[in-house]
Chain A
Amino acid sequence: MTETWLLRNMRAVRGRAYPRIIGSTREPSWVFFDVVLPLLTVSAYAYIYKFMKAPEEFVGFVILGGAMTAFWLNILWSMASQLYWEKEIGNLSLYLMAPISRMSILAGMAVGGLFETTLRATSTLVIGILVFGIALSLSSPVMLIVVFVVTMVALYGMGMMFASLYLLFGREAYHMSNLMTEPIYLASGFYFPVKALGFWAAAGSSIIPITLGLDALRQLFYPSSVSEYGFLAIGTETLILAILCIVFIVLSKLSLDYMEKLGKTSGRLTLRWQ
């Protein structure tokens, strides 16, 4: 691996991340669609919990879950289906033809997506906290950063893997994304502690990094609720997430290589509407 190769790929990551980063400033309508609208769903759950006189932290759980849905939606619609979309507009063949690792393109998409979605999720979180007067008692800021980072790397690693697999499904990719929206909201416990699903269902859902990431974040924000609502210990969840990071990134590389080989053999990656 030469310095030139590394530099070229780092520049490629920056180049591909740029449209997403700059997109946040070019399309101000995201404030309404990506912050205000998700808050409506979050509000509905928050009012249910308030009406039922559920413990105070449940409203906080919902706000956190609402903020994290932004990342899941970004994975489905801006990562997983992105390579298929790039093929349709003609960018994919230009990416494939460039003297860089395909992973740089995916990493650029991930970095850009993470930046813009963090902006949106933070807005949802801050507005939600202000509107519902949530009191958080963060136990460890350092651990919060560690958990957030490993969750995001694992989650975007999963998105990179999906991006290659969606190419295989072609137009069906959109149905796949629809199929994975609402069920994952349920399975990952976006609006309730995942422990409520029971051990085996929660363990099964843990393959989706956001399940354990969200559970760990809730435990960090509400240390007093750990024994009652926490699924696994924060350390265990962080370790599993770290393993998922490696697994998904390796799988994304393998699936991308497979798709490229398949595409070069069949011609499918450079033909539209296939």
Chain B
Amino acid sequence: MEPAVETESLTRVFNPKKKKEGKSVTALDSVDLRIERGELFGLLGPNGAGKTTLLKILSTLLLPTSGKAYVAGFDVEKDFQEVRKRINMVSGGEISGYGLLTVRENLWMFTQFYGMKSAVAFKQIDTMLELFGMVDKKNEKVRTLSTGMRQKMNVIRGFVTDPDILFLDEPTLGLDVNASRVIRDYIVEWVEKKPDKTVLLTTHYMAEADQLCDRIAIIDDGKILACDAPDTLKRLVKTSTMLKIDVTLLNNKSVLGEIPGVEKFTYTDDPASNLTSLKFVLQDESAVSDIVSEIVHSGAKILALRKTEPTLEDVFIKMVGKGFE
């Protein structure tokens, strides 16, 4: 059986409309990817990494500049109608639909573009509204919904046509904990109940990718840097030591990255609370004493110091040399 998604040297370059508007941007750079059917696959990367561009090509909205992409065994360029029958997509922060329609009507409208019979569509919509805790909202106009409710409705729109492959582009972006949890739980449940279905999820929430995905590809600057199961990826930094230190606002931080034994170093400043958070990937634990000495020498106070288990963020820092923020 063909994989759900396969790309070969997939490249996408965006050229400016006019030369004076700037340089070309390579959003995807020779991406090779293979996602098997039944996988819940995550694409993890910061803003501008190329995640959305990849999804747009796979969902037939954009053509590659070079290379090939296949979805359910069909070429996205030549057999796009076949691809479209088998996919759906939901994006975070989507405001699709029409505000004057009710939630139920809005979802029904989108099912019509996939040729669903109305009776089947309404039955499926009602079931999903119940699962997402939105039964009481079904006859409310879309324009009256909160952001979280609206996004739940969008997610239902993606699932209700029962696609073989579902693209979820930052589906929990900007949502509160409860709304995010409902959406994540449903994604996992859907893939577990229907083993032939595939989800390709893009996110820049590390914990979300870690919790949901069977495999994850880390992408930055249009390139896939690593692709494996979350635990396997984390083992890449298992031999290293992860150290987090919170200090009072620290001015000269660059020197910390030059201490022998420090493999990677990132930081975030929070001037409002007079706090600097430092993160280190250490090759050698003996570097800890040098780091502490350097901080004390600079006049800052150490507020907290902890050695941590490797996370996907540590993997990302090790590979890219920078954090997500």
Binding partners A and B = yes
Residues of A within 8 A of B (CB): 4, 7-8, 11-12, 14-16, 18-19, 22-23, 26-27, 89-91, 93-100, 105, 263-267, 269-270
| Distance of A97 Cα from B90 Cα, bound (Å) | 11
Contacts of B114 in A (CB 8 A): 8, 98-99
Instruction: Enumerate the 4 nearest inter-chain pairs by beta-carbon distance, A residue then B residue, closest first.
Output: A15-B112, A8-B115, A98-B113, A99-B84
Residues of B within 8 A of A270 (CB): 56, 61-62
> Which chain B residues border A14 with CB–CB below 8 Å?
112
Chain B residues, CB < 8 A from A11? 112-113, 115-116
Q: Are A89 and B96 in contact (CB under 8 A)?
A: yes
Chain A residue at smallest Cβ distance from B82: A99
Place the interface of chain B in its size category: 20 to 34
Determine if A15 and B100 form an interchain contact, defined as CB atoms under 8 angstroms apart: no
CB pair B61–A93 under 8 Å, yes or no, is yes
B109 touches A18 (CB 8 A): yes
Contacts of A94 in B (CB 8 A): 89, 96, 110, 113
Chain B interface residues (CB < 8 Å from chain A)? 14, 17, 56, 59-63, 81, 84-85, 87-89, 91, 94-98, 100-101, 105, 108-116, 141
* CA–CA, A269 and B59, complex, Å: 13
Known: A27-B100, A94-B96, A269-B61. A19 touches B109 (CB 8 A): yes
B268 to chain A, nearest CB (A): 30
C-alpha gap A8/B85 in the complex (Å): 11
Number of residue pairs spanning A and B whose beta carbons lie under 8 angstroms apart: 86
Q: Distance (Å) between the CB of A175 and the closest chain B CB?
A: 19
Q: Residue among A94, A96, A265, A269 with the most chain B CB within 10 A?
A: A94
A145 to chain B, nearest CB (A): 29
B111: A residues at CB distance < 8 A: 15
CA distance A94 to B96 in the complex (A): 8
Shortest Cβ distance from A91 into B: residue? B96
Contacts of B63 in A (CB 8 A): 264-265
**Smallest beta-carbon distance A163→chain B, Å:** 17
Within the assembled complex, what's the spacing in Å between the Cα atoms of A14 and B116? 12
Whole-angstrom distance between the alpha carbons of A11 and B84 in the complex?
A: 16
Q: Give chain B residues whose Cβ lies under 8 Å from the Cβ of A23.
A: 100
Task: Decide: B100 and A95 in contact? CB cutoff 8 A.
Answer: no
What are 20 A-B pairs with beta-carbon distances under 8 A?
Answer: A8-B114, A8-B115, A11-B115, A12-B112, A12-B115, A14-B112, A15-B109, A16-B112, A18-B105, A22-B100, A94-B89, A97-B59, A97-B89, A98-B113, A98-B114, A99-B114, A105-B113, A263-B61, A266-B17, A270-B56
Q: Are A90 and B94 in contact (CB under 8 A)?
A: yes
Q: In the complex, what residues of B have CB within 8 A of residue A19's CB?
A: 98, 100-101, 109
- Kindly list chain A residues whose C-beta atoms are within 8 Å of the C-beta of B95: 89-90
Closest-CB distance, A262 to chain B (whole angstroms): 10
Kindly list 11 other residue pairs between chains A and B, CB separation below 8 angstroms, not including A19-B101, A22-B105, A97-B84: A8-B114, A14-B112, A18-B112, A27-B100, A95-B113, A96-B60, A96-B61, A97-B88, A99-B81, A99-B85, A267-B62
CB pair A97–B61 under 8 Å, yes or no, is yes
A23 to B101, CA, bound (A): 8
**Chain A residues with CB below 8 A from B60, complex form:** 96-97, 264
**Cβ–Cβ contact A90 & B91, under 8 A:** yes
Q: How far is the CA of A99 from the CA of B164 in the complex (A)?
A: 13
Tell me the complex Cα distance, A267–B110, Å: 23
**Other-chain residue from A15, A22, A97 in contact with B87 (beta carbon distance below 8 A):** A97
- Give CA–CA (A22, B101) in the complex, Å: 8
Q: State in angstroms the CA–CA spacing of A90 and B95 once bound together.
A: 6
